A and B are shown apart, each in its own frame.
Chain A
């Protein structure tokens, strides 16, 4: 191991790490959104056996550390099922499930915020359950949920940093590598922190802009 100063190549390393972090964040968030909302729809339709099971799993995922979930998937599953699993795959599975659990809760509260009376009115007019979902519930629920969802996504972005512990070469892992090599922790971790910070703020800003657009749609335009 050579102790050396920073080189311009380090910037490329950091960007690569950032790319891995963002890539995993975006894909797991998307999957989490899909799974989480489908869980919430399940609950909306009050599917008999699935709903309590989903609620139990979601509670478990929400109330346990993500690091432990990562260990369970990366170290535990291979032992149990006699399979091989890469760090990235383990990260994808864990983070998607974890995000899904939180999305589920937000989606449920967003759907419940729409008064039953609206849904009843729509049903009385002859709309099918699917049409009600699509035209009445979904648009309003989305506008309601954007705020909490943005906050959740900002949080999940931070959570991706934990995948470095199981060996994924993300931004934090690059930070570890640079730290070990240059022995300049203040600079390394400040830069890494700054990169995460900028991404988080960008995400929050995008979320706020999207929320304004959604709410403009839902605003009463008058007769």
Chain B
């Protein structure tokens, strides 16, 4: 279980997360929605330990990310896919996917390679294993990013606006893969602007506004008039997004 417990985070005088509570059970697919600056990405960065908390606690399977000794265990259980891909430019696609399994999980090279190739095959990049990131399109790079995360066999997959840097066509190919993962039972927490997509594959939707968690509802209820839409902020947000 991934527990976010009354988390507070400030950058200098600006409070970005203000008492956020969230629990994710294995198998759930949870989307975090909200406007820019609401703290969505910061929340993910707190969960994977890139940002230090100013208050509250986050535990991944009972490992506290705030405690240095438990952080590495917590990180082994989650994997992150980034908005800007963050692939290692000097390594091949295969190298990118196998680096952490070999160095952190101590898998033998042959096994890591086999797993990596299978993953790349499943996202349609089986023949590009020896290419370098610079030679791939944005959508292909993000697919490599997803494989890199999955190669660690994480219990929780964290996705930080993974299609925001892609054009519509590439966005569709990446979303297709994420939908498949969700259907297969992968636990996912993702921050996204793709409302329709979130609606289709999530179990729950969480809405953040100015650092506060306004609602945390099952998908159907979130989009219902008496549920999420009853909240004026949410209604305003959804109508703005739909218009674009």
Are any A and B Cβ atoms less than 8 Å apart in their complex? no
Interface set of A (CB-CB < 8 Å, partner B): none
